[in-house]
Amino acid sequence: MTLDQPAPSRGSTIRSAEVLVTGPGRNFVTLRVTTQDGVVGLGDATLNGRELAVASYLQDHVVPMLIGRDAHRIEDTWQMLHRGAYWRRGPVTMCAIAAVDVALWDIKARIAGLPLYQLLGGASREGIMAYGHASGRDLPELMDSIRAQQAEGFRSIRVQTSVPGVDKIYGVSAAPSSGTYDYEPAQRAPLPVEEDWDTRAYLRHLPGVLEAVRNEFGPELPLLHDAHHRLTPNEAARLGRAVEPYDLFWLEDCTPADNPEGLRLVRQHTTTPLAIGEVLTSVWDYRQLLSEQLIDYVRSSVTHAGGITGLRRIVDLAALHQVRTGFHGPTDVSPVGMAAALHLDLAIHNLGIQEYMQHSALTGEVFGQTFRWSGGLLHPGEEPGLGVTYDDDAADRHPYSAAYLPLNRLKDGTIHDW
């Protein structure tokens, strides 16, 4: 028996795939796929501090496989890149797959003449609740920073604070009271800078800060906090319990997710909602976390978890366990990755919240974007496809220069999770 093969649609055949590396304020890697008919799709392939590894993976190993394929065959292309490499998962591979996947979704939606969210099932809501970022080296600075975020329109706010005795800490902006949260952890230098850490000092300090913020802003304001992978399960359990009176929307990365069983211990001791997963890249990484209901929010991004196709698998497994989403959205997720997240956010049912760290004006010179921000809600806009453009001339004005996330050391010099 032979199967009738549908005639290949020549216009949607992939003519070129270009890997674009630029550094407007910070480094980005973008894949631009063009069909025979000249329809262009963009995908984000930015892996903070390891950008060139993904650029090479794409350029040397993936681009040759794309030329001549039908751009419409998104699932088949995803499976080919996932199964066909033999070496599965991992951030470099999944970022590369994500860039291809998102570029193909962009092309499909542009050919259909529809914003991408329409192809993902249409809008499930009017707009997407997003959280902003506040930080302070002391309480007055933190309160000002929260007010500045509220003035920007944010209705939910992540709070990060300096800790007495710790010199440099994740998430605290150098000049937070200036209004904009301009914290960028990746420093432009040939080698990573070093920061320091003291868990006991952090555990002593944080609950009082959250109490002061709650007292100042009242019970309504959703507050979030990122512990950034630094605690053992027992320390995380202690922190979760200590901050229960301040009603966090979530406590993020309270302990590294490498050891999912550790979350059982945290759950036994606290009902503070837990968000995990910005470094997880595949639905397989979430199996135990979700099936045992060890977390409340999945934090992966389109960019790091295999694109719309990969992340949707995580979202759907999460939905089975009443877990909601809070996609990772720092500035190292490019405007392309951010737009892809917003289209998915608008369409899925189990949206929780979207992280939104606004990109700099320099980044905006390269990436034109159409997403809207009003009343504390984001919307991806109504342009066909993702609604993002790439300006080659502007990109050339801002070349890549090496930047690395910091290293973390304890007082005695031991390397700790950053």
Interaction site with ligand KDG (CB under 6 A): 48, 185, 226, 228, 278, 328, 330, 332, 355, 405
**Least distance from Mg ion to the Cβ atom of residue 383, Å:** 29
**Least distance from ligand KDG to the Cβ atom of residue 278, Å:** 6
By C-beta, is 168 or 269 nearer to ligand KDG?
Answer: 168
Catalytic, 398? Answer: no
With CB under 5 to 8 Å by kind, the binding choice for 332 among ligand KDG, Mg ion, none is: ligand KDG
Q: Is 119 exposed, middle or buried (0-12, 13-18, 19+ CB in 10 A)?
A: middle
Q: Which residue is nearest to ligand KDG (CB)?
A: 48
Catalytic, 170? Answer: yes
- CB 355, CB 330: distance < 8 Å: yes
The active-site residue out of 117, 170, 202, 246 is 170
The active-site residue out of 228, 359, 379, 398 is 228
Q: Is 414 exposed, middle or buried (0-12, 13-18, 19+ CB in 10 A)?
A: exposed
- CB 229, CB 259: distance < 8 Å: no
Q: What DSSP string describes 20-57? A: EEE-SSS-EEEEEEEETT--EEEEE---TT-HHHHHHI
Q: Which string of x and - marks every residue 70-99 that binds Mg ion (by CB under 5 A)?
A: ------------------------------
Q: Which long-range contacts (CB under 8 A, 24 or more apart) does 361-365 make?
A: 362/24, 362/25, 362/398, 363/24, 363/25, 363/26, 363/28, 363/331, 363/334, 363/335, 364/335, 365/24, 365/391, 365/394, 365/397, 365/398
**Least distance from Mg ion to the Cβ atom of residue 79, Å:** 30
**Least distance from Mg ion to the Cβ atom of residue 254, Å:** 11
By C-beta, is 348 or 357 nearer to ligand KDG?
Answer: 357
**Least distance from ligand KDG to the Cβ atom of residue 252, Å:** 6
Neighbour tally for 5: CB within 10 Å: 6
Q: Which stretch binds Mg ion (CB under 5 A): 89-97, 115-123, 152-160, 218-226?
A: 218-226
Among positions 141, 198, 226, 345, the unique one binding Mg ion when judged by CB under 5 A: 226
By C-beta, is 41 or 91 nearer to Mg ion?
Answer: 91
**Least distance from ligand KDG to the Cβ atom of residue 253, Å:** 7
By C-beta, is 41 or 132 nearer to Mg ion?
Answer: 132
Q: Which string of x and - marks every residue 268-307 that binds Mg ion (by CB under 5 A)?
A: ----------x-----------------------------
For residue 76, the surrounding DSSP H or E stretch is helix 74-84
CA atoms within 13 A on the CB side of 22: 24
Q: Is 26 exposed, middle or buried (0-12, 13-18, 19+ CB in 10 A)?
A: buried
With CB under 5 to 8 Å by kind, the binding choice for 355 among Mg ion, ligand KDG, none is: ligand KDG
- Residue 184 lies near Mg ion (rule: CB under 5 A): no
- 81-92 in b/e form (b: 16+ CB < 10 A) is bbeebeeebebb
Q: Which residues bind Mg ion (CB under 5 A)?
A: 226, 278
Show which residues are catalytic.
170, 228
